[in-house]
Amino acid sequence: MPPTTTAERHLRADARRNRDKILVAAEAAFRAQGLAVQMEDIARRADVGVGTLYRHFPTKEALVVELSTRRFGTCIAQAEKALESSDGWAAIESFVNTNAEQMSRDVGLRDTFTAAGKDDERCRGERRQLERRLADLLDRARDEGGLRPDVTAQDVQALMCGLSGAIASGGDWRRLARIILAGLRSPS
Amino acid sequence: MPPTTTAERHLRADARRNRDKILVAAEAAFRAQGLAVQMEDIARRADVGVGTLYRHFPTKEALVVELSTRRFGTCIAQAEKALESSDGWAAIESFVNTNAEQMSRDVGLRDTFTAAGKDDERCRGERRQLERRLADLLDRARDEGGLRPDVTAQDVQALMCGLSGAIASGGDWRRLARIILAGLRSPS
DNA sequence: ATTATCTATAGATCTATAGATAATGC
DNA sequence: ATTATCTATAGATCTATAGATAATGC
């Protein structure tokens, strides 16, 4: 559930409608074309003038941050869901595979991992929270002996960025995820 | 040794000098700032007007292709040198580590791997040749039993792109290279 | 005489805004 | 009456060129 700020609650009916259309359109545009897509394109997809787009999001950065935050949120939720698995190593496999598959279908997600919101406090917060969840996953798997003992959450975060690049360059996510997971697995 | 084309041989003394200065400046600019650096910046570094830069390289793409080709060339040479090693697996380790270390110091190299010259025949040729050398390295290591049997040259190329992204996102190249190499190693 | 260089600026490609017009809701 | 929308365009930020000026080499 997105944070319904005070500003959003008092929105006029048409404004509310347009805001929703913009978010849907931007989501689709980012997924298909990445964060570099033009504001004009997003407005066209939403069937709205660019002026309206800028009324709702004062800068492109603000729009990118809004949607990147949501993507990070999904990713964090996936990490938490994976944590429910009974087996520590299976949780990590599940997390990496799920994300790799999603990145293969979503340029915006790849861009989010590698580039989005480096200067935005909200995005940085999400990154930190993801790192914490990742650390939880790793701690458990390490305790159970499934994980190579020296792997850190930062390593895995960097590897997820790497995975996004590798997928973008035409690699098969299944094969790449398998290799990276094998690299993380404890050498038994 | 760069290919001394006919055009380059007949260059007037000052033109020859400026061309060299431009190549040195562009190399340094790409290394420090990546391929997105501005032509004006490169010209300034070379102590030359932008007009001169454009006289020698008709488009920015041409300059990027020239320097990316060189980077690919170095990389191919490293693969060939690694191939001289007596041990197949050691050759792969050496290749991956060398490149990872270089990528950590050279934004231009990272950009070259992930983005450069996708539309240029010369660059595509270099990519293919690198892939062939990589395949040679893999074949041998596989025969010797050191390599996970299903790994392809394309996988490794994608992983090198990934490594570049992972390093760009702040990862430690030593740790990342170790994990990826462990993933490629045969599970014995 | 020819070939190369420089500066100033045209042109392309975006983000963002101004200000005239239209839709909402009290 | 207020709030939102639209189109046309300003502004920023690049790449690339025109055309007047300078350096080279026969």
| Per-residue pLDDT tens over the stretch A75-111 | 999 999 999 999 999 999 999 999 999 999 999 999 9
Rounded-to-integer distance, Cα A32 and Cα A42, Å: 11
**Residue whose pair of structure tokens reads 């270099």 in the numeric block:** B126
CA nearest to B115 within chain A: A169
Count of all residues that appear for chain A in the document:
188
Cβ contact A12 with chain D strand, < 7 A? yes
Q: Nearest Cβ partner of B114 from A157, A165, A178?
A: A165
- Looking at residue B94, its pLDDT comes to 97
Average pLDDT of the residues in A61-88: 96
Q: Alpha helix locations (H) across chain B?
A: 6-9, 13-33, 39-46, 50-56, 60-83, 88-105, 107-114, 121-144, 153-168, 173-184
Q: Where are the beta strands (DSSP E) in A69-126?
A: none
Residue nearest to nucleotide D8 (CA to C1'): A51
Nucleotide nearest to A61 (CA to C1'): C15
Q: How far is the CA of A91 from the C1' of D23 (A)?
A: 70
Distance CA A150, CA A142 (A): 9
Burial class (CB within 10 angstroms; exposed 0-12, middle 13-18, buried 19+) of B118: exposed
Check CB contact under 8 Å for B168 and A161: yes
Query: What would the mean pLDDT of A123-148 be, rounded to a whole number?
Result: 96
- How many percent of chain B have pLDDT more than 90? 86
Question: Are the beta carbons of A53 and A40 closer than 8 angstroms?
Answer: no
Rounded CA separation B183/B179 (Å): 6
In whole angstroms, give the CA distance from residue B149 to residue B171: 28
pLDDT for position B4 = 45
pLDDT of amino acid A187: 86
Residue B24 and residue B42: Cα distance in Å, rounded?
9
Measured distance CA(A73)–CA(A2) in Å, rounded? 10
- Of A53-57, A85-89, A123-127, B7-11, where does mean pLDDT reach its minimum? B7-11
The position carrying tokens 């790497």 is: A162
Q: Which residues, including other chains, have CB under 8 Å from residue B141's CB and lie 6 or more apart?
A: B88, B89, B91, B92, B147
CA-nearest of B99, B90, B96, B53 to B72 is B99
Confidence of residue A116 (pLDDT cuts 50, 70, 90): confident
Confidence class of residue B22 from pLDDT cuts 50, 70 and 90? very high
Residue A140 is predicted with a pLDDT of 97
Rounded to whole angstroms, the Cα distance separating A170 from B156 reads 11
A160 Cβ neighbours under 8 A, 6+ residues apart:
A96, A99, A113
Across the interface, do B162 and A157 touch by the CB < 8 Å criterion?
no
Cross-chain residue pair B159–A148, CB shorter than 8 Å: no
Mutate to test the interface with A, among B107, B130, B159 (most CBs of A within 10 A): B159
User: How confident is the prediction for chain A on average, in pLDDT?
Assistant: 93
Position B107, amino acid: V
B151 and A179: CB-CB below 8 Å?
yes
Query: Residue A6: is its pLDDT beyond 70?
Result: no
Residue B64, both tokens:
């990027």
Q: How far apart are CA B164 and CA B84, in angstroms?
A: 25
Amino acid making up residue B177? A
Give me the phi and psi of B147, to 5 degrees please.
-105, 140
**Tens-place pLDDT, residues B167-179:** 998 899 999 999 9
Rounded CA separation A39/A30 (Å): 11
d(CA B33, CA A95): 34
Question: In angstroms, how far is D22 C1' from A124 CA?
Answer: 54
Dihedral Cα B122, B123, B128, B134, nearest 10 deg: 130
Q: Find the residue closest to D25 using CA and C1' atoms.
A: B12
A104 touches strand D (CB under 7 A): no
pLDDT recorded at residue A188: 75
Q: How far apart are CA A73 and CA A104, in angstroms?
A: 18
Which tokens is B77 given? 């040479």
pLDDT tens track for B34-78? 999 999 999 999 999 999 999 999 999 999 999 999 999 999 999
| In the block, residue with structure tokens 């994300």 | A99
CB contact under 8 A, B159 and A170: no
Q: Which residues of B120-137 are buried (b: 16+ CB within 10 A; e: fewer)?
A: beebeebbeebbebbbbb
Contacts of B1 (CB under 8 A, 6+ apart): none
Mark out chain A residues that contact chain B at CB-CB < 8 A: 113-114, 148, 150-152, 154-155, 157-159, 161-172, 175-176, 178-184, 187
Q: Is the CB of A58 under 7 A from strand C?
A: yes
CA–CA dist A35, A109 (Å, integer): 9
Q: Any atom of strand C under 7 A from CB of A161? A: no
